[in-house]
Amino acid sequence: MADKSKFIEYIDEALEKSKETALSHLFFTYQGIPYPVTMCTSETFQALDNFEARSDDIVLASYPKCGSNWILHIVSELIFAVSKKKYDYPEFPVLECGDSEKYQRMKQFPSPRILATHLHYDKLPGSIFKNKAKILVIFRNPKDVAVSFFHFHNDVPDIPSYGSWDEFFRQFMKGQVSWGSYFDFAINWNMHLDDENVKLILYEDLKENLAAGIKQIADFFGFSLTGEQIQTISAQSTFQAMQAKSQETHGAVGPFLFRKGEIGDWKNLFSETQSREMEEKFKEYLAGTSLGARLKYESHCQP
């Protein structure tokens, strides 16, 4: 992948801040959503209101732990395949993270710019819609998301840990975690998945057929690649390939971020009661919705 020194620099700074931050002080709330103080500030959110998106920006929207680093890698490889130029990360790619001056600096960046984000649909800057940037939305089943999220907190030495999985589960179900509730994020997006310039991709589908998923992503963003190029990117984007390079691409946090990369790891942590609670919540929020059907809960989340 591209030279990610800025990327790693930013992650290292966030980890450094995390060392001094207790879990009880990790979150601040902005417009009703909790964000980690180690990565987000209200000044940056205010500056984001005036961010000027371009029509050829590539927006990658996901709730945390749905595979955004995977898609970032795939998209930067697609750009490389068609332009022969390595996609450079002059800023940390998550739009809402960083200092409030970053949007000024981003004005100088060449197109296409990749904008990853965990923001809920209604918190995205209006210029993304006004200027018709394409948005790829990545979803993953809520049980594996919760488990991945919990491990990230409790495995990375410098990130505040939860007392137990049960404690994390309670907070996750209440939406008292970074970037708020999975379910609010999902119902918000559910209403926009068929909008012009929006495409949904599932972590589980990508896992089951990586080459087909990469082809869909390439087609959506208008990148024309040969079958051989798709196969090459596919081989470089497996979990094993990305995990092997994770220290180089993401620094100290890499091996924790690329942890297991499987479907169904929830079976190692969820109790029967927690499974029932999750199913109730899923039904309450997503039963009968288009996203609810597309997430294939019965295949990926039922014991």
Ligand X SMILES: Nc1ncnc2c1ncn2[C@@H]1O[C@H](COP(=O)(O)OS(=O)(=O)O)[C@@H](OP(=O)(O)O)[C@H]1O
> Which residues are known catalytic residues?
118
54 vs 149, beta carbon nearer ligand X: 149
| Residue 260 binds ligand X, judged by CB under 6 A | yes
99 vs 265, beta carbon nearer ligand X: 265
Alpha-carbon gap, residue 206 to 239, rounded angstroms: 11
Alpha-carbon gap, residue 118 to 112, rounded angstroms: 19
Which part of the chain contacts ligand X (CB under 6 A), choosing from 58-66, 159-167, 214-222, 288-296?
Answer: 58-66
CB of 86 vs ligand X, minimal distance in Å: 19
70 vs 168, beta carbon nearer ligand X: 70
| Residue 38 binds ligand X, judged by CB under 6 A | no
Alpha-carbon gap, residue 197 to 111, rounded angstroms: 17
| Residue 115 binds ligand X, judged by CB under 6 A | no
Alpha-carbon gap, residue 150 to 168, rounded angstroms: 6
Among 48, 242, 286, 295, binds ligand X (CB under 6 A): 242
| Residue 207 binds ligand X, judged by CB under 6 A | yes
| Residue 66 binds ligand X, judged by CB under 6 A | yes
Whether the upstream peptide bond of residue 36 has omega within 30° of 0, thus cis, is no
54 vs 61, beta carbon nearer ligand X: 61
| Residue 12 binds ligand X, judged by CB under 6 A | no
Q: Please report, as residue ranges, which positions from 68 to 97 form the binding site for ligand X (by CB under 6 A).
A: 68-70
| Residue 120 binds ligand X, judged by CB under 6 A | no
Alpha-carbon gap, residue 295 to 142, rounded angstroms: 9
Q: Which long-range contacts (CB under 8 A, 24 or more apart) does 283-289 make?
A: 284/183, 285/183, 285/186, 285/187, 286/183, 286/186, 286/187, 286/190, 289/187, 289/190
Q: Pinpoint the alpha helices (H) of the chain.
A: 5-19, 42-48, 68-83, 102-106, 126-130, 142-155, 165-174, 182-190, 203-208, 210-221, 227-236, 239-244, 246-250, 254-257, 272-286, 290-294, 297-300
Which part of the chain contacts ligand X (CB under 6 A), choosing from 26-34, 48-56, 95-103, 232-240?
Answer: 232-240
99 vs 155, beta carbon nearer ligand X: 155
Token pair 């995977």 in the structure block, residue: 70
CB of 195 vs ligand X, minimal distance in Å: 22
Residues that bind ligand X (CB under 6 A): 62, 64-70, 144, 148, 151, 207, 237-239, 242, 257-261, 265
